Amino acid sequence: MSFLSIHFPRWVWSEVCFRIFIFVIFLITEELSPYHRVIQPEEAWLYRFPNKVSIVPSQLLWLILVIATLTVIAVVFAYNNDLNLAICAIGVPTLALPLNGIITNIIKVTVGRPRPDYLERCYGPEYLTITEYTRPCIGAATLVLDGRKSFPSGHSSMSFCGFGFLFLYIAAQLKTFSTGRGHTPSFILTLITLLAPTLVAISRFDDYHHHYQDIIVGSLLGFCVVYAIYRQYFPSLGDPTCDKPDVPFSGYEQGAGEARLYGRRTLSSLENPNCIKTV
């Protein structure tokens, strides 16, 4: 099916515009100032760790997510030549990632929990001897503000959101969890996709950028968000048709007299592409 031969309904373009809007909101929330939580003397040890460079920088994480997602979708498309499946697949992470980012950032600035390396961010080399935590910070403003955005872990939530989609998508295409069959090879291949976000999450603990609670909550948050959005487009992984989307996202093949059937839903007529009926 040629991309140029597809007629995209108006609601598809609305989805595109909505994703752009959500992404802009995500960028805005990145710049919000966090709540200034008071540090009590008895908890100061939690924030007295050295400030280290991120093992997995944010730019690298985004690059990995984009390349991995596009690669998997492209490989599946090359195998089955299903443009509708490819477009639905792209629709999930393009909504899940910015939406997850918004939720994560709002929680971060609302809670305002200091990072493990906050005291060095705030007071510099003297952080080990500081006992008065009400003193003004002397560190760079951006570094200090970012130091109060520990909960939940953004790296963990984003990595489990992005790679969580790949886990769901690969499991669906291989029908790893559909009933009535043994799936040991596909199960192992599917499970490998969760290794990458797990390593990213662990790295945030190793470089003293997050507490373990931040990482656990961030990981769960990211996977829950992507699963909720994934289920808007695809059936459950145990469904016999889990490898096909529920929604005919890409419209019709040129010259087709009737809609193509995907999963359990189809379009009812060429004149009303927004009308979906159950079959």
Residue 246 tokens read as 């529920």
Q: How far is CA 157 from the centre of its chain?
A: 6
Q: Which of 36, 183, 209, 210 is flagged as catalytic? A: 210
CA dihedral 194, 199, 202, 207 (to 10 degrees): -150
Q: How many CA atoms lie less than 13 Å away from 17 in the CB half-sphere?
A: 5
- Please state, in angstroms and rounded to a whole number, the distance separating the CA atoms of residues 164 and 224: 9
Q: What are phi and psi of 53, to 5 degrees?
A: -70, 140
7 is annotated as an active-site residue: no
CA angle 180, 265, 189 (to 5 degrees): 40
Q: How far apart are CA 176 and CA 171, in angstroms?
A: 5
Whether the CB-CB separation of 210 and 156 falls below 8 Å is answered with yes
SS3 276: strand
CA angle, corner 28, sides to 249 and 154, nearest 5? Answer: 80
- Compute the distance between CA of residue 71 and CA of residue 196 in angstroms, rounded to an integer: 15
From 155, 183, 209, 211, the catalytic residue:
155
Tokens 């997510």: give the residue: 65
Active site residue 155: yes
Residue written as token pair 């490898």: 243
Please list the active-site residues: 155, 210
